[in-house]
Structure 1
Amino acid sequence: MLNKRLVSILVPLCLLMVLISCTSTPDNSNGAVVYRQYCMQCHQADGAGVANLNPPLIQTEWVLGDKSRLIGVVLNGLSDPIEINGETFRNVMASHAFLSDQDIADVLTYVRSSFGNEASAVTPEEVMAERLNQTHVD
């Protein structure tokens, strides 16, 4: 049988471990799921992309900068070559407008806060506004 002193140490330690495991669960697990399903094949598990084909998502202005531009890329795809950090990427990215506003917000929030990135979240309202903006452009 465990003595009282050992129990008085183990119980708080176990509670602390439970709390830590609960708080270390990703806040944006849906974003990670969407990323794995639709983005990882091209942009890779680590967000590094593929040389000359698919751009990295690590510390780039495309990811960390203007949210509406980033949302627009997901909604409309991208067919023009782009240059990032002196390297040109030529692979076409298909539109993912079929994703819900929530899924797009979640995956972009995931990307903007993963791979060493530290940028603000994208909200479903921002995605909806950009989607509406895109449909009213002539």
Structure 2
Amino acid sequence: MTKYLLTIFLAFGCFQLMAQVKTRAKAKRPATGLTASIANGKAIYLNHCLTCHQADGGGVPNMNPPLIKTSYVTGDNARLIKVVLNGFSENVDIDGESYSNVMPAHDFLKDREIADVLTYVRKSFGNKGSAITAVQVKAVRGKNKKKAAI
């Protein structure tokens, strides 16, 4: 009888352990879709953009443009992608304000990384822009290379 109870106890314990493992595995699965893109984009922003554009996206007057509701952020997707790929090496006017700091090209980032960081920026700081996809970035990058080669 003791062996029988011990077997039942061990079997029940194994089932509970397996259920806990499954629950933890589900909890650790990475988010997908827009939520994942925004989360990944935020991490990229913190590593590559924060210093110049600031935590609140406000930029630095006359040096680094704000990312808050500007035409560059909320406007044409291809233009915004090109900014990340090519950077800026001269003064740029954005919505009537001039910014003079050089922005280095971030063409070393993968298409998915650029899509994610731009999606984060277009969905943060009060912006209500659409998401950017890796397919869009890849298309702009391809055209960008062809123009650079000419």
The interval holding the TM-score normalised by the smaller chain is: 0.7 to 0.9
Equivalent position to 1:36, from 43, 46, 62: 46
The aligned counterpart of 1:48 is 58
For normalisation by structure 2, the TM-score amounts to 0.73
Unaligned runs of 5+ in 2: 1-33
Please tell me whether Structure 1 or Structure 2 has the larger radius of gyration of its CA atoms. 2
Q: 1:99 aligns with which of 74, 94, 109?
A: 109
1:115 aligned onto 2:107 = no
Identity %: 53
Displacement after TM superposition at 1:86 (Å): 2.8
Spell out structure 1 runs of 4+ moving beyond 6 A.
none
CA RMSD, aligned part only? Answer: 1.4
Q: Secondary structure at the match of 1:109?
A: helix
Equivalent-residue separation in structure 2 for 1:67 and 1:86 (angstroms) = 20
**Alpha-carbon displacement from aligned partner over 1:16-54 (angstroms, at most 9, x marks no partner):** xxxxxxxxxx81210000000000000000000001100
User: Which structure dedicates a bigger proportion of its chain to helix?
Assistant: 2
Question: Offset at 1:131?
Answer: 0.5
What are the superposed Cα offsets for residues 60-107 of structure 1, whole Å, 9 maximum, x if unpaired? 000000000100010011112112343210000000000000000000
CA contact (8 A) 2:71 2:95 kept: no
TM-score normalised over the length of structure 1:
0.79
Which ranges of structure 1 fall in alignment gaps of 5 or more residues?
1-25
Q: Which residue of 2 aligns with 1:3?
A: none
